[in-house]
Structure 1
């Protein structure tokens, strides 16, 4: 047989083998379909962008906003605003419309429940885009940052966050965005579900707590409260200051210093009197008061910082009917604090300034705590 005929015969045999191997063709077809489906899914996520990772919201799409960790960075990067509300669950019941009404500000709320100072730093990195190597847009102009400070969290580590952070939504590395683009939860719960049952989130009141009116009662609060065991040894007065100083130096002060045209409105929330029962039982009253003092004096030293002190609002903290648990107050007190920011009430005067200084606030706080009848209150349980 000639080489030409031989080659022709071999080719025919190979062709027959290929025709007789449907599994290979099916596998190739399946892979092609899977790849196409992935491309379509990724394109849908990019187009709708429910976490606002690539662009601002589409006009008319009923976005569901309920995921602080995943949606805050996108909102910080792509929403229109001139002021920001930052803090823990103590800030979730602020309505941004109040800040427009009272102060003429176009505010955005970027709260993190249980937030540590590092959580605030993570989002301020995006708000201010302070990294000169960033590929993002030019630095935003922010008029005011309203920062709620929970003293308990400032005793933690400088790199400690309340929950694991989805880094792929906070960095500039698009290669790791596959975790967002091909995320089943994103597609089902943040694109398809809102399309099927449109009920867009009111961004003015985003992340608001679920408690309804009946939960704000002394009976409910006491039912769910357990008083700690008495600690005999007193915590040293300056025990917390090293951790507090580090957190301020790493996670808060750099943003204040690098943004002198932004006013930072720092405030301490009004926890209920039961918080102070915990403080007394755990025997760290002096250390806690010293922490308030140190943070206030450190931050009030900046010209672009104002500090507000609400913990000693006796008419609020001593009535548990204003709370849903030992620390979370009714939304009307978020409104009250917003009004105070507008009027300059409960402001702590800095050194050399006229007005009530931190020592007066702390003295009043001490008087409330030491005079309060905790035994009688807890007997109502």
Structure 2
């Protein structure tokens, strides 16, 4: 065999091998990126950042939720019944604003039926460079969230997917039912340790005082990310309704930041004020703010023992409010909300806390009103 023929045969073999591998992964589609179901029954991946594009592309929904872990416990069936819609929860734990924006943009690009986006506004998500994404054990798969077909080759040849494909096949052979139901994916807290006022008291006493305020936590940094990652999406999709909300973090969480450096409160309130002014310019944007609602935030029984996450019934409360109450429309009223939050955080002490849990409360309407005064 001549050298020329050998080289041609070699390259033909390589191309054939590469093509075979690409075709095999396209058919197996371990993350169900191209189709809802392939040759095998789906067993979804535990890494939401890799699994989400396939869900966004192939599931049927009219309403999308994009959020951090504060949104992961929105159950689609509850959202559907309450808002009379068909929804998909696209929340990514610990996500930056860029990641949430990519989720929203990819969904809007892939799904013509999508007309409502529910979007959590989280200080931590915006307190970084506008382009920042979370890289964990594997790099964030940005290529899966764009509209380029060329870089799909990264998906077809990614070594990470070899293990996923093998796990999917084995799960089907062994009848492993783990992670079959997409609505149960990424939900958490059902067996989380309960919060206690004693633990909160000790946690606050151990709050380290910062000598210098973090540069990335300023209003300017957060607003820059907000404009790039949120406002641009609103402007590009004028026929889509965007419902934004601030999750009801426990007041002791906000107070601890205030103890560490009082500028945390100042910068966050300034951020919220400017966000309201920006959103007020768009007819397709609305805002809900739950952070000064004492009946929730002063009740330690509503929260898991991490001083951050609330139980699933608070997610239901948020959806109920969006369904039945008007968003913030008056600057005067919102200024009062921000003033309420400021006073709650500054004047907080542990003796003000309850520990009964929102769902189990028996207060009358008058009791709830008095707690908010």
**Helix, strand or coil at the partner of 2:288:** strand
Could you tell me which residue of structure 1 aligns to residue 4 of structure 2?
none
Q: CA deviation at 1:239?
A: 7.3
Q: Tell me, yes or no, if structure 1 residue 301 matches structure 2 residue 281.
A: yes
2:115 corresponds to which of 137, 143, 151? 143
Equivalent position of 2:144 in the other structure: 169
Unaligned runs of 5+ in 2: 1-8, 354-373
Distance 1:113 1:54 in 2: 24
Per the TM alignment, residue 80 of structure 1 is displaced from its structure 2 partner at its CA by 1.4
- The reply on whether 1:205 has 2:180 as its aligned counterpart is no
Larger Rg: 1
> In structure 2, how many angstroms separate the alpha carbons of the residues matched to 1:148 and 1:158?
16
Distance change in 2, residues 1:122/1:248 (3 Å): same
Question: For residues 176 and 42 of structure 2, what CA distance do their matches in structure 1 show?
Answer: 5
1:85 aligns with 2:60: no
Shift of 1:213: 4.2
Q: 1:45 to 1:220 in 2, by over 3 A?
A: farther
| Closer/same/farther in 2, CA of residues 342 and 191 from structure 1, 3 Å limit | farther
After superposition, residues 103-252 of structure 1 pair within 5 angstroms as: 103-129=83-109, 140-163=112-135, 164-171=139-146, 172=148, 173=150, 174-180=152-158, 183-199=161-177, 200-209=179-188, 211-213=189-191, 215-218=193-196, 222=200, 225=203, 227-231=206-210, 240-252=218-230
For 1:188 and 1:322, the matched residues in 2 are separated by 41
Segments of 5+ residues of structure 1 without an aligned counterpart are: 1-27, 130-136
Cα distance between partner residues in 2 of 1:193 and 1:109 = 25
The size of the alignment, in residue pairs, is 335
SS in 2 for 1:215: coil
Q: CA deviation at 1:49?
A: 2.1
Change (3 A) 1:310 1:221: farther
Deviation at 1:180, TM superposition (A): 3.8
Write out per-residue CA displacement over residues 326-380 of structure 1, whole angstroms, 9 at most, x where no aligned residue.
Answer: 11111110011011111125x21145xxxx7321211211222233214897xxx
The CA distance in 1 between the partners of 2:287 and 2:51, in whole Å, is: 28
Quote the Cα distance in structure 1 between the aligned partners of 2:36 and 2:192: 37
* TM-score of the pair, normalised by structure 2: 0.79
Q: Secondary structure at the match of 1:85?
A: strand
Report SS of the residue matched to 1:228.
Answer: coil
CA contact (8 A) 1:64 1:194 kept: no
Structure 2 Cα separation of the partners of residues 40 and 224 of structure 1: 60
| CA separation of 1:234 and 1:247: change in aligned 2, threshold 3 A | closer
